[in-house]
Amino acid sequence: MTTTTLISSVLSSSIFPTEYRSWVRIPATSIPGGSNFRVVKQRRLKIIAKSLDLPLLPFSMSEVLVPTESKTLHLYEARYLALLEESIKRKKNMFVHFILDPISISEKATEASFAARYGCLVLIENVERLDIGALVSIRGAGRVKISRFLGADPYLSGEVRPIQDRFNYEISNEITSEISKLKESIKNLSSLEIKLKAPEDSLLQTRLLNSLKWAEDEPPEECEESFFPSLQERLSFAALQPVSGSTQSELSRLQQEKLKAMDIKDTMERLKLSMGLMKENISSIAAKLAIQSLDIR
């Protein structure tokens, strides 16, 4: 189902009263405690919750975006170009990339209903104007929860709150050690990727290194502090990128791992997931290099 079809289904769904047909249904679940954490006396945590009103851009389940990941969009519909202009001029180059997930209300339901899930605050990094529309380079900054929808004319907009991991100070040394291993694995995998046969115009810097570098940088000034994850959390997402020569099966597996990573609220758990993926990717690339060397001979 295309994004346009998805949105059209949402806006015409009979689950909304007529005057609210522009809103998307959200499950009645509590908002995760994603917030900015500050250490105070006796190592207690003070939660400072904030919200932002931002444009929302919906995608299908196969297009989840994780923090640190980059993506290029071709926007050409009038409503999405309006969203772009709003984001640039009044929203500090920010909007929300989120997934519309079809859900079942009941066995007797005749129309689809949707839940808004896997929201990711994105920063606009570059805009290239075209004869038709624009190419927009975006970067995932941090996870968000859409707490309520504000409207849909000319584009969806809503109030969003940050979602961040629960940081466990008792295992901070373990997390630091695991991060060191993950960074080393990313660099090793990147070195292997470069050795694979690739088109001449391919960039030597892989998506993995690109995400790793972005994760290690200081938060951009335009990004609201409470919406920007900790360094540890950012690094735990950096490995969730496609690698050179991935098969459709490998890309599908990556998609499932990204969905799991977005649900996880524990940094160590996500680091372990990422390390497992790294080991599989290193083995896969090493095998492809071995086959490649046989072909050369």
Helices 248-263 and 267-296 sit at what angle, rounded to 10 degrees? 170
Show the tokens assigned to 15: 């689950």
Contact 13, 112 (CB under 8 A): yes
Contact 289, 192 (CB under 8 A): yes
Q: Of 160, 150, 166, whose CA–CA distance to 50 is shortest?
A: 160
DSSP bridge pairs for 94: 123
Beta-carbon-side half-sphere exposure of residue 262 (alpha carbons within 13 Å): 28
Mean pLDDT of 236-258: 91
The better pLDDT of the pair 194, 280 is held by 280
Q: Which amino acid is at 278?
A: M
CA 293 to CA 67: how far, in whole Å? 36
pLDDT band at 297 (very low <50, low <70, confident <90, very high): low
- Global pTM? 0.79
Mean pLDDT of 262-266: 96
Q: Which amino acid is at 107?
A: E
Domain boundaries, the chain: 52-162, 171-295
Q: Of 99, 144, 105, whose CA–CA distance to 117 is shortest?
A: 99
Which tens digit of pLDDT belongs to each residue from 149-204?
Answer: 999 899 999 999 999 998 777 888 999 999 999 999 999 998 888 887 765 555 44
CA 144 to CA 259: how far, in whole Å? 14
Q: Which amino acid is at 141?
A: A
Contact 38, 48 (CB under 8 A): yes
Which tens digit of pLDDT belongs to each residue from 38-84?
Answer: 333 333 344 455 899 999 999 998 899 999 999 999 999 999 999 99
Whether 32 has a pLDDT exceeding 60, the answer reads no
**What is the rounded (10 degree) CA torsion for 161, 79, 241, 230?**
-20
pLDDT band at 259 (very low <50, low <70, confident <90, very high): very high
DSSP bridge pairs for 139: 70, 123
Classify domain 52-162 by CATH number: 2.30.130.40
Which tens digit of pLDDT belongs to each residue from 117-139?
Answer: 999 999 999 999 999 999 999 99
- The pLDDT, as a whole number, for residue 195 is 84
Q: How many CB atoms lie within 10 A of CB 114?
A: 20
Q: How many CB atoms lie within 10 A of CB 105?
A: 13
Nearest 5°: the CA angle 241, 238, 281 is: 45
Euclidean distance between the first and the last CA atom of the chain, given in angstroms as a whole number: 45
CA 2 to CA 136: how far, in whole Å? 19
